[in-house]
Amino acid sequence: MEPIEIFKALSNETRLNILQWLKEPEKHFPKVSIEGGVCVGDIQEKAKTSQSTVSHYLTMMQKAGLLESFRHGQWTYYKIKEETVHQIASFLVSDTQNE
């Protein structure tokens, strides 16, 4: 877990919205895959921004460990990685660190 990469990923309104939406995908998207993922197009539509930007954002959030993706046919689905979200929240409130 790289806290700085995670915080950078969260420093943008659109990306922060995406994270929040994907916490409860059934509540925010018309269709959700069996595994709980949402396809890029549906995220793009809700985020109201360009296809390339959303794709870029999702990749960035995945690299930070906030999301994971899997492909079914021609669709790529993204879902939240709860583990990382909980880890970064714990990191924030913990008070043991080096030097």
Please tell me whether residue 88 binds its own copies under the rule CB under 8 A: yes
Query: What pairing do the DSSP bridges indicate for beta strands 38-39 and 75-80?
Result: antiparallel
Q: At its nearest, how many Å lie between DNA and the CB of residue 21?
A: 15
Q: Which stretch binds its own copies (CB under 8 A): 23-31, 32-40, 52-60, 67-75?
A: 23-31
Cα separation, 19 vs 85, whole angstroms: 10
Cα separation, 4 vs 38, whole angstroms: 26
Please tell me whether residue 8 binds DNA under the rule CB under 7 A: yes
Please tell me whether residue 53 binds its own copies under the rule CB under 8 A: no
Q: Say if residue 80 is exposed, middle or buried (CB neighbours under 10 Å; 0-12, 13-18, 19+).
A: buried
Q: At its nearest, how many Å lie between DNA and the CB of residue 61?
A: 11
Pick one of its own copies, DNA, none as the site partner of residue 3 (Cβ within 5 to 8 A by kind). Answer: its own copies
Q: Tell me whether residue 52 or residue 99 sits nearer to its own copies (CB atom).
A: 99
Cβ atoms of residues 46 and 15 within 8 Å: no
Q: Tell me whether residue 74 or residue 94 sits nearer to its own copies (CB atom).
A: 94
Joined tokens for residue 44: 């793009």
